[in-house]
Structure formats: C-alpha cells, structure tokens
C-alpha cells in the first residue's frame, strides 16, 4: 500500500489543483452577504428566460422586496404542475436550462414521490461544488489524509428512465434520455471517469436498485480495496458496516480497512450513532464530518475537524436563502413577508424555516427543514428539525433536536447504544382508563442486547430507562418539563424495546431501504408505532 509520504505529496498536488474551491470556502467565511447578492442577481437573470419568470414579470423585479411580492412561498405541491410540464418534455419552465435528470425522493407532498429537477447548473455548481469544497477543506485541515490516494466507499441509490402517465406528450421523444432516482445515483451517473479510480464499488454495483443485493455485492467487491472514507446516512451505512464485519469475520472495520479516516454523514442526527461507530472504527485518527446535502441543494458542511460549532453555509453555489422564524411560519405562509429575512438578517439561537431559490428552478421553495445559527460571522448553523417533524400533542413542542440530544444523554448514562427509534403521542384515553397523555418510544438497541432475555427487556429495566429518558427531555425542553409537572397534562413516557434488525425489516417491508429513505423519528400519531409492534408480534 502507498506510504504516508507519497499520500502527502498527492494530497498537496490535489489541493493545488483545487485551490479555487478553498478560495470559495475562505470567501464564504468573510463575505457571505455579498456573495448571496451575486447569487440573487444570477437567479433573476436566469429566471427571466423561463415560463415561471415570465408569468411573474421577473423583468421588473429590482430588489428582494419585489421578488418576495411576486413569488409566493412554495412547497413541492405548489411547483408540481411546473415539474410535471418539464417531465412531459417542456423546456425552460423553471430554469433556463434543459432538464434530463430528476432527484426522486419521498417527502411531505400529495404525491407519493417528489421529483426535484436537476439542471447542469445545480448538478455541477451546487451538488458537486459543495462536495469538493468540503473535501478540499478537510484535506487542508488534515495534511496526512489519504482520501485522494485511496478509495471512497459509496452506498449509492439507483436511477431509472423517468416515466409519465401522459403518453401524448413530447416525453415520448425523450424516452430513455430522461432519468430519475436518488440524488446519490444521479451524481454517480454523472461523475467524471477519473473519480471512478478512487471509488468503490463499481458504478454498476453502486447503482443496483435492490438494497440487500447491493450490500452483498459491496461486501464482495469493496473488502478487497483500500478504503479510507465513506459517506451517507448513518443508519443505512451502519447496516452495511455490520454486513461487512459479518462477511469478513473481523471484529472491527480497521481490520478490514486499516487506513479508514473519514465518515461524511448527513440526513439524520449522528449523535445517537456516534458511540456505535467508535466501536466499529476504534481509531483516534477517525474523523466524522457532517454535511447538509439534500435533493434540493448542497447547503452546508462542517468546516472544522472538531465539530460542535455548526456547519458553514455555502453561499456561492447557486442557492439564495431566506429564513422565517418558526414562530412566524403560519403568518408568512399566509403572504406576510414582514418576518422573512435574508441571510444578513438572521440571529443566533432562533429556529428558522429555511427558504431557497436555486439554479435548479426552485423558487422560494421550502424544504421544510428548521435550522438554527450558531454564529453569524461566519454563518454557521445546525439542523434542528423539520417544520412537520415534531410532537406537540399536549403543548410540549418536542423538536427532533431535543429528542435526539436527550436520547444520546440517556443512552450514555445507561451505557446503552440505540440503533434506531421513532416516537409518537398517546392521547388521553376516551374511556377514562388514564387521564393524562404521554409519548411512546419504539427503540431498537444495539449489541450486546441481542438476547430478548437480556435485563434490558425486563419490565423494570425498560421502566428505568424510560424514566431516565423522560428526565433528560425535561432538561432540554422547558415546555415538556412544564407539561410533566405534577397535575399537568402528561405522564412519564413509555418505551417499546425492539430486537435488532426490526427497523430494517420494517423499512424493507415498506419498500423504503437505502440512503434517501429516512425513518420518521417523531410522528403525529401511533401509525408507525403500531406497524413496528406488528413486526415483532407485540400487539
């Protein structure tokens, strides 16, 4: 294998080639509002040449106020009619470039799937550019890195020819030339050939649609490679890594890949998985970097090795941002823009709904994420939840970040490791059998708790952990604490312990395996809880 000295020489050479991306990082640290203004003007120029822009008279927009008054806040359902026209073969509908790729994802819309248009500008100027900025910055911070002299392990999705039900459209002329699939798969299909030399498994394997088959093939192909880094959603990669250990018979991943040094994660909170990964990869040289990458755009990345201070917002990659205080969201959705602020108007410590306009043709679009800025000079943020992913059945306003912070603290104190979970409210009983509501958590625990006869599954142990978790939530959420006070509306939460593999089997039964599919952590009712109970026969 290549030595450290040679790896360092390659690292310096790549950094020299990619110095433009490092300059972008440095400019983002210093001049974010100015860069955002340039993006805004670029979007207006491109938008004027589109059907969407002509309908809203973009030619007469002179400033942000004009833009906000002409373009209402949108969710996927609002843009879906335009996206349908693109999928039917019409060009220049939302952006002044032809669209031949769609990032397909599940989401909160009236359709089963969302089809996010991917233009040349958004693919190369947003998604690829964001990843390159993150990698170059990491290599600058870690001169001994081997990421450019070894393989990156990719757990990609799949793509397929895009199909519309309307056969009397121009789409028939494009059959076989327009594709949809996971964003990871779209990027794989469009990555330069040179990148294939530093990636495993083969592109063919990475694009296999069936998740279980893909994992088996990766085990056969990638365990023979010199892998130093991998990326993706922690939960799905955990499934893969456990399969790698099972296939090789090794006790940890360093026995398979001695130079493993980096996991670039995103999509869900990493904290509940951190201790599990530390045991899988017992190395002081292992780095975990968070990035905020969605089908709609590449928004932010962790620009320090230590972490803990948020992710740096990408401000010059074809995305213009606006932010709405979560407390003012309903008001803004009704058309009142008084509380909607551009980047220079944000403050730390406030949960904002993020609004984006992009070179992919998303105009004042809401990905339905909530973010909170940890600093404004430079602009760094954390993802605190979803505008719809919270439980507020009793006025407790439990957000996803509260839930996962408390779960991580409780797990650490109890010496337990949580693999997956979901939670939902149990409302007061109509028959009066209990007068106060509570939350039910379905939790899957990692080794060494595989045996259902483990003390964890004894009623006393489950009750003790439920009390500990309840206490930790109260520490991080004052509304929850108030509702848990004597005589108030809530009683102690309850836990349903699940055997290892339950969540995977559940997602598999729903046809939702793979990185683009996320487990619903907080839900408004017991639908998912009941499905999980049925999986284990606990009804």
Q: What is the pLDDT of residue 165?
A: 39
Q: What is the pLDDT of residue 423?
A: 94
Query: For the chain, how big is the Rg over CA atoms in Å?
Result: 24
- Residue percentage of the chain with pLDDT more than 90: 58
CATH of domain 17-386: 3.40.50.12780
Report helix, strand or coil for 293. strand
Write down the domain spans for the chain.
17-386, 390-536
Per-residue pLDDT band at 167 (split at 50, 70, 90): very low
What is the average pLDDT score of the chain? Answer: 87
Number of Cβ within 10 Å of residue 441's Cβ equals: 23
Per-residue pLDDT band at 166 (split at 50, 70, 90): very low
Indicate if the pLDDT at residue 539 is higher than 70: no
Indicate if the pLDDT at residue 50 is higher than 70: yes
Q: What is the pLDDT of residue 109?
A: 45
Indicate if the pLDDT at residue 75 is higher than 60: yes
Indicate if the pLDDT at residue 83 is higher than 70: yes
Indicate if the pLDDT at residue 290 is higher than 80: yes
245 within 8 A of 222, measured Cβ to Cβ: no
Render pLDDT for 401-429 as a digit per residue (tens, 0 to 9). 789 889 999 999 988 888 899 999 887 66
Of the candidates 91, 87, 90, 88, the one whose C-alpha atom is nearest the C-alpha of residue 103 is: 87
Q: What is the pLDDT of residue 51?
A: 98
| Mean pLDDT, residues 438-458 | 71
Indicate if the pLDDT at residue 503 is higher than 50: yes
d(Cα 266, Cα 359) in Å, to the nearest integer? 22
Render pLDDT for 339-380 as a digit per residue (tens, 0 to 9). 999 999 999 999 999 999 999 999 999 998 999 999 998 999
| Mean pLDDT, residues 474-496 | 85
Write b or e for each residue in 128-160: b if 16 or more Cβ atoms lie within 10 A of its Cβ, otherwise e.
bbbbbbbbbbbbbebeebbbbbbbbbbbbbbbe
Out of 88-92, 181-185, 272-276, 475-479, give the one with best mean pLDDT.
88-92
């Amino acid at each position: 294998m290549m030595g450290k000295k040679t790896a360092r020489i390659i690292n310096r050479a790549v950094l020299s080639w990619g110095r433009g991306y490092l300059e972008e990082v440095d400019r983002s640290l210093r001049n974010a509002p100015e860069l955002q203004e340039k993006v805004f003007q670029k979007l207006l120029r491109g938008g004027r040449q589109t059907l969407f822009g002509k309908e809203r008279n973009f030619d007469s927009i002179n400033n942000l106020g004009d833009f906000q008054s002409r373009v209402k806040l949108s969710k996927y359902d609002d843009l879906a009619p335009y996206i349908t026209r693109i999928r039917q073969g019409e060009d220049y509908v939302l952006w002044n470039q032809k669209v031949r790729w769609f990032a397909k994802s599940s989401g909160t819309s009236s359709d089963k799937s969302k089809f996010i248009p991917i233009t040349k500008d958004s693919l190369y100027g947003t998604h690829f550019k964001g990843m390159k900025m993150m990698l170059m910055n990491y290599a600058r911070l870690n001169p001994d890195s081997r990421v450019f002299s070894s393989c990156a392990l990719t757990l990609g999705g799949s793509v397929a020819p895009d199909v519309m039900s309307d056969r009397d459209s121009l789409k028939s002329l494009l059959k076989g030339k327009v594709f949809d699939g996971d964003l990871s798969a779209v990027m794989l299909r469009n990555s330069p050939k040179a990148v294939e030399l530093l990636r495993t498994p083969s592109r063919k394997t990475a694009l296999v649609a069936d998740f279980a088959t893909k994992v088996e093939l990766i085990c056969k192909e990638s365990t023979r490679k010199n892998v130093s880094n991998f990326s993706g959603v922690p939960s799905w990669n955990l499934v893969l890594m456990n399969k790698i250990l099972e296939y090789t018979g090794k006790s940890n991943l360093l026995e398979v890949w001695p130079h493993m040094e980096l996991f670039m994660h995103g999509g869900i909170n990493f904290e509940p998985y951190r201790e599990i990964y530390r045991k899988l990869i017992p190395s002081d040289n292992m780095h975990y970097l968070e990035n905020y990458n969605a089908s709609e755009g590449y928004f932010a990345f962790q620009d320090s090795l230590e972490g803990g201070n948020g992710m740096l917002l990408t401000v010059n990659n074809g995305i213009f941002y606006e932010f709405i205080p979560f407390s003012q969201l309903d008001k803004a959705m009704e058309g009142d823009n008084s509380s909607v602020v551009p980047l220079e108007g944000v403050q730390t410590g406030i949960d904002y709904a993020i609004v984006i306009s992009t070179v992919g043709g998303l105009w004042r679009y809401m990905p339905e994420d909530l973010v909170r800025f940890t600093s404004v000079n430079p602009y760094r943020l954390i993802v605190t939840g979803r505008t719809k992913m919270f439980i507020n059945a009793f006025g407790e306003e439990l957000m996803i970040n509260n839930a996962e912070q408390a779960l991580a603290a409780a797990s650490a104190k109890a010496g337990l490791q949580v693999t997956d979970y979901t939670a939902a409210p149990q409302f007061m009983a109509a028959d009066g059998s209990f007068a106060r509501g509570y939350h039910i958590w379905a939790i899957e625990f990692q080794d060494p708790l595989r045996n259902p006869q483990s003390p964890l599954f004894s009623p006393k142990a489950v009750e003790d952990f439920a009390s500990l978790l309840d206490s930790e939530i109260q520490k991080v959420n004052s509304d929850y604490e108030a509702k848990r006070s004597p005589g108030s509306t809530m009683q102690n939460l309850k836990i349903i312990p699940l055997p290892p593999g339950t969540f995977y089997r559940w997602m598999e039964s729903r046809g939702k395996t793979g990185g683009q599919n996320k487990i619903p952590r907080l839900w408004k009712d017991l639908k998912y809880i009941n499905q999980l109970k049925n999986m284990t026969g606990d009804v």
